[in-house]
Amino acid sequence: MKTTISQVGKHVEETVTIGAWLANKRSSGKIAFLQLRDGTGFIQGVVVKAEAGEEVFTQAKEMTQESSLYVTGIVREDDRAPSGYELTVTGVEVINEAKDYPITPKEHGTEFLMDHRHLWLRSKRQHAIMKIRNEIIRATYEFFHEEGFVKVDPPILTGSSAEGTTNLFHTKYFDENAYLSQSGQLYMEAAAMALGKVFSFGPTFRAEKSKTRRHLIEFWMIEPEMAFMDHDDSLEVQENYVTHVIQSVLKNCKLELKALDRDTSKLENIVAPFPRITYDEAIDMLKKDGHEIEWGEDFGAPHETAIAEKYDKPVFITHYPADIKAFYMKPDPNREEVVLCADLIAPEGYGEVIGGSQRIDDEALLKERYQEHNLSDETYKWYMDLRTYGSVPHSGFGLGLERTVAWISGTEHVRETIPFPRLLNRLYP
């Protein structure tokens, strides 16, 4: 019977055949241990010379790393195995013999691994990270569908910019100039006026010359937008969403978290509500701790980490100065120099995972703001129409998928959290 590694538990003491790759092996004169992987999981195949026979044993011993195989064997329960099962191999058919696979069990440098990203993805660690990424995406759809949101897809090629004009990727759109989307937000605002509560999930692009462990040139963002919801309503959605994602990964990715040696005690307590502090309070905290920062300056990674260290949950920093935030954020009616916004800072130094705000709903103020930011009337005419025709209070936010994967999986650098990272000096593979 043909099956997969993830399904072997249904076939204990039965003979099964699995299509797999040889991840690693070791052997002695009488017994060979095959580390097999098939995409759904990892399992150890045991070939005992006396039982499998001379021919199968010799064949197994000579197989090379990453050769593809059909392995036949009997499924055994085994408490010592991470997955709980082992395979007593009775036969092997080699599909393709791999010669000189470049990624060997020894240590390799990061650049070497990045050059071989297309193969590196097969490793146990990368497999676990991709499975966690997948679970976060699954839990995202589950959460927003249960909350009555409609998934809407904003365009990738656009004429407008949401997050400033300095880091746009330019391209030609026949005779016009176009950019790759930095954020779907402006289009999601239009969608919210049509469908109420919406969310998008798609690639976004920032031509940022930053080379940090938190920045990608191409990253994926989840962007909910909600009509008739104010800043506080939005924070509640955010903390419930993040809680759902964390708890889903804890429940459904136990093997993966274990493969990554993730300290899950740091995730278990992450349940809404999350602490909230204002930008002013954050500045005071930092000054008290000896950081050189003045009111009006934006936070850098060390500042975010210093604040996050004071909490064992993610923390919202709210009410930033308008001058350091995007043009569309609504000023606080009680204090015009700050805006109704929040960044959600993850614990353990993983930085800002969400940026969000209530949006300006007043037509005149919005016009003033985008003129201040030198954005053209013509390009934003459609965006202004949303204020002209039935404007309502509305809020939304963007969660960066890769930073969230990095945090939950305990991965130091975002380059390992996306299958094929686009980095400052990397377009290959």
List, as own/partner pairs, every contact residues 105-112 make where C-beta atoms lie below 8 angstroms and the sequence separation is at least 24, other chains included: 105/24
Q: How many residues bind Mg ion (CB under 5 A)?
A: 1
Give 87 or 277: the residue with its C-beta nearer to ligand 4AD.
277
Closest approach of ligand 4AD to the CB of residue 326, in Å: 7
Which part of the chain contacts Mg ion (CB under 5 A), choosing from 222-230, 327-335, 354-362, 411-419?
Answer: 354-362
Closest approach of Mg ion to the CB of residue 341, in Å: 9
219 contacts which partner out of ligand 4AD, Mg ion, none, CB within 5 to 8 A by kind? Answer: ligand 4AD
344: which strand partners? 316, 354
Both tokens of residue 98?
């791999």
Give 78 or 348: the residue with its C-beta nearer to ligand 4AD.
348
Q: Which residues contact 283 (CB under 8 A, 6 or more apart)?
A: 293, 294, 295
314 lies in the site for Mg ion, by CB under 5 A: no
Cβ–Cβ < 8 Å for 231, 358: yes
355 lies in the site for Mg ion, by CB under 5 A: yes
Query: Which backbone phi and psi does 299 adopt, to 5 degrees?
Result: -85, 145
Q: Could you please report the per-residue DSSP string of 151-215?
A: E----SEES--SS-STT-EEEEETTEEEEE-S-SHHHHHHHHHHHSEEEEEEEEE------STT-
Q: Could you please report the per-residue DSSP string of 259-318?
A: HTT--THHHHT--SPPPEEEHHHHHHHHHHTT----TTPPP-HHHHHHHHTT-SS-EEEE
C-alpha distance across the termini of the chain, in Å = 37
In angstroms, the CA 417 to CA 137 distance is: 13
Give 19 or 202: the residue with its C-beta nearer to ligand 4AD.
202
221 contacts which partner out of Mg ion, ligand 4AD, none, CB within 5 to 8 A by kind? Answer: ligand 4AD
Closest approach of Mg ion to the CB of residue 398, in Å: 8
Closest approach of ligand 4AD to the CB of residue 390, in Å: 21
Give 158 or 183: the residue with its C-beta nearer to ligand 4AD.
183
Give 355 or 421: the residue with its C-beta nearer to Mg ion.
355
347 lies in the site for Mg ion, by CB under 5 A: no
Q: Among all chains, which residue has been given the structure tokens 């934006």?
A: 298
Give 117 or 215: the residue with its C-beta nearer to ligand 4AD.
215
- Report which secondary-structure segment, H or E, holds 144: helix 124-146
How many angstroms from the chain centroid is the CA of residue 99? Answer: 34
Give the CB-nearest residue to Mg ion. Answer: 355
Cβ–Cβ < 8 Å for 126, 103: no
Closest approach of ligand 4AD to the CB of residue 94, in Å: 42
3-state secondary structure of 385: helix
Contact positions toward ligand 4AD, by CB under 6 A? 162-163, 183, 185, 206, 208, 215-216, 219, 221, 223, 352-356, 396-398, 400, 402-403, 414
73 lies in the site for Mg ion, by CB under 5 A: no
Closest approach of Mg ion to the CB of residue 343, in Å: 6
Give 45 or 351: the residue with its C-beta nearer to ligand 4AD.
351
356 lies in the site for Mg ion, by CB under 5 A: no
Give 355 or 410: the residue with its C-beta nearer to Mg ion.
355
Count CB-CB contacts under 10 A for residue 122.
16
Q: Which residues contact 112 (CB under 8 A, 6 or more apart)?
A: none
76: which strand partners? 86
359 contacts which partner out of ligand 4AD, Mg ion, none, CB within 5 to 8 A by kind? Answer: none
Closest approach of Mg ion to the CB of residue 352, in Å: 6
Give 117 or 403: the residue with its C-beta nearer to ligand 4AD.
403
Which part of the chain contacts Mg ion (CB under 5 A), choosing from 228-236, 247-255, 353-361, 413-421?
Answer: 353-361
Closest approach of Mg ion to the CB of residue 278, in Å: 16
402 contacts which partner out of ligand 4AD, Mg ion, none, CB within 5 to 8 A by kind? Answer: ligand 4AD
